Structure 1
Amino acid sequence: MQIGFYQPEKTVTGPAYGPGFKVMATVLCAVLAGYGTTVALRYPLLQYGIGVQLLLLGAALMLGVSYYWFLRSVVIIDERGIRQTWMFNRQVEWRDVRSAKMIGIPFFTWLFPPRLVVRTGNAFATFNGGSKPVLIEFAKISLAFQMKK
């Protein structure tokens, strides 16, 4: 096994999305579900074509799946690399990382904490940090790859 440039001191695990984001997602999903319910009660949806029914069912299903993964997504930083669980898991091994940088949205860090953007050859992977230990490790990774240049 080839060792990459960066190796964390210990395994760091934490949620990918912070409490502010989870609260906002909960409110938004509740509002959308409530609105969908009022639309279903006001209009005779069973009289519409199967295409419209499948579209509405698919939208409701994707809302539920996305909400579930916003609440359950986890970031793991260990000796192998960085992983984030989601509907489709993201994984980058240390040997594949070419550069790493933290980016954030000024004045909105309470809702969208900084993210780690990792460059691997021609591709980019973005990892969300929803807890302090994960963000600290993101800062260490970013600093290590800035010093590498």
Structure 2
Amino acid sequence: MAASRALVGIAARSLAEIDPDVTLPQYRTLVVLASRGPQRVVDIAAELRVAASTGTRMCERLVRKGLIRRSRPTTDRRVVRLTLTPAGRRLVEQVTINRREQLTATVTATADVWHPSVAPALRAFAAAAGEIPDDEWWLGWPQIVSRDHDEPDGG
């Protein structure tokens, strides 16, 4: 539980340092869009395990903040899809880079106790929790990370 709290703390700090007006659930919505591509509100709500009305309100706030936009596919005008705006994509990129830096500092400070099997175990843990590996993100995350870091490890 302490490790879980530490990771949540790093996530909260990495977001607050970039944009204190975006909540963790709102940021998670942006991550869902970054990793899975355009989504319907109902899909986002299901992914976040919230009621559809909660998902709708959260997405509306993100639209007002200019971080996501609504669009209707030409093939079916009844469907409304949500996508990241350039500002939303930049926010996800900046927070992820910030989080990676904080995690790197924490791991470096404890490097003498890490076992080689930890990284694969963390990747398996993330997969079991339903996280998509960085190299499978809709936005092509490895290219974003490789600009600022040598090796994205997905863990």
TM-score for both structures, normalised by structure 1: 0.28
The structure in which a higher percent of residues are helix is: 2
